Amino acid sequence: MKLYNSMSRSLEDFEPIVPGKVSMYTCGPTVYNYAHIGNLRTYIHEDILVKTLAYIGYEVNRVMNITDVGHLESDADEGEDKMLKGALRENKTVWEVAAYYTEAFFEDCKQLMIQKPSVVAKATDYIQDYIKFIKGLEAKGYTYFANGNVYFDISKFEGYTKLSKLDLDTLKVAHRDDVEIDVHKKNPQDFVLWFTKSKFENQAMKWESPWGVGYPGWHIECSVISLTNLGDQMDIHCGGVDHIPVHHTNEIAQTEAFTGKDWTKYWWHSEFLVDNSGKMSKSSGEFLTLSLLAKKGFEPLSYRYYVLNSHYRKQLAFSFDSLEMAQSAYRKLKRRTAQYANLEEGIESLSSSAQSLRNNFKKALEDDLNTANAITVLYDVLKSDISEPEKAYLIHEMDGVLSLDLLTVEDSEADVNAEQTAWIEAQIKKRNEAKQSKDWATADAIRDELKSKGIVLIDTPDGVTWKFD
């Protein structure tokens, strides 16, 4: 398997630290609002990564954090506190907001058939671990104390920009006119490990610490949660490309300063979902959530299908017209696969043709998760001349990775399929009668009509069968 490593900026052969086992960390949601569909695109691709690794034989241990303590709007130490913002917006406590939107996030994941990680860790459950971590960095000389806050001094960590590849001499902290720059930092890129003083006088989440009552900086949770659950080194760290310049850069600095070891072997990043205004987010344009798509008539798995027809390392331009086309294609695909729902039992071995299709599917996924090509192979299965049970077997196996629910037929869809099947059988009967009467024109007309609807007739010595083209 080959994966693109953001650290080396190249495709690399995937070889985990421990043979046969994969340790993986994925940056989870900040639970102050619903996830927007741009966030969910990343989680869909991460889900494919996990399921692909399992498909080719690895045991995957995936850890994900839930940010339920103040995360600022910027990856730097600036902007509004998202959790506090959510609480004020809804007139709830931050704890109530966090609980509600955590549940909402996992409900979205369920609808998108995104597998729950092995470990889901709430940031607020690790406060004492953060304190131990900061004390460790303090003892090693990587921190300084100013204005009541503990800062990480990036000048003490060699290779701070090795992931971002940015020039530190020209790198400036993103600044908005309404955001006050922290004048207590020695370097603009230094970041807070523990706050006791900030512009948020009424911060709701605070804990006792050696530096005073306060709360952790945002970057620390991913480092500590991964170290606690996966050890000092791990195979894959996932996230969106927007995490590269600051969040993941700061994670590397503090983690490797603490352990003295290279931390992550492969850095995996998903590109943005974009619209006419640029990167899709909660603050730009219409706030698109999975429930809003549902209100507009789009099924969650139509969106998953839409996402999987793009590569995770390419920006995906979103429009409702393109989603409409994807939903139409997805529904047509399900109509074609539904007829194989109960046929996969009893396969003892695959023919060489079926095995070739299976290998092509595996190769597509092993090629840096080329899900679009993997879906193409799925269509190749449907068009192939392998046996019907073999098709059912391969569809079932492939859907174990793609997770498009291809072999589940809804009751309403089953009724439609039953009516459609009855109509097709009636047309075949009329064609047989026409052929017996040597009315070849009528027989050909019936065949052509069925073909125009995507239905192919197959004449065999035992009679006529049919399939969707």
Residue by residue, pLDDT tens for the chain (469 residues) are 999 999 999 999 999 999 999 999 999 999 988 999 999 999 999 999 999 999 999 999 999 999 988 655 455 555 566 666 666 676 677 888 889 999 999 999 999 999 999 999 999 999 999 999 999 999 999 999 999 999 999 999 999 999 999 987 765 544 444 456 788 899 999 999 999 987 655 677 889 999 999 999 989 999 999 999 999 999 999 999 999 999 999 999 999 999 999 999 999 999 999 987 766 766 555 689 999 999 999 999 999 999 999 999 999 999 999 999 999 999 999 989 988 888 866 688 999 999 999 999 999 999 999 999 999 999 999 999 999 999 999 999 999 999 999 998 765 454 455 667 778 888 998 999 998 899 999 989 998 888 887 788 877 666 777 766 6
Beta-bridged to residue 5, according to DSSP, are 10
- DSSP, residue by residue, 126-168: GHHHHHHHHHHHHHTT-EEEETTEEEE-GGGSTTTTTTT---T
Please report where in the chains the tokens 């793009």 appear, as a residue.
Answer: 310
Burial 196-215 (b: 16+ CB within 10 A, else e): bebeeeebbbeeebebeebb
Q: Enumerate the known binding-site residues.
A: 27, 222, 247, 251, 282
Q: Enumerate the known binding-site residues for Zn(2+).
A: 27, 222, 247, 251
- Check the CA dihedral 186-214-249-72 and report its sign: negative
Copy the structure tokens of residue 178: 């309404």
Query: Quick one: CATH architecture of 2-270?
Result: 3-Layer(aba) Sandwich (3.40)
* Domains 2-270 and 318-402 in one fold: no
Cα gap 429→441, rounded to integer Å: 15
DSSP at 275: E
DSSP at 318: -
Contact 87, 97 (CB under 8 A): yes
Residues 6+ apart with CB under 8 A from 72: 78, 79, 80, 81, 82, 218
- Check the CA dihedral 217-219-220-221 and report its sign: positive
Q: Enumerate the known binding-site residues for ATP.
A: 282
Please report where in the chains the tokens 């009668």 appear, as a residue.
Answer: 433
- Domain assignments of the chain as residue spans, ordered by start: 2-270, 318-402, 411-468
Query: Which CATH number fits the domain 318-402, given the four candidates 3.40.50.720, 1.10.1240.10, 1.20.120.640, 3.90.380.10?
Result: 1.20.120.640
Element (H, E) at 306: helix 300-308
Phi, psi of 349 (to 5 degrees): -155, 160
pTM value is 0.85
Degrees (nearest 5) of the Cα angle 63, 65, 70? Answer: 170
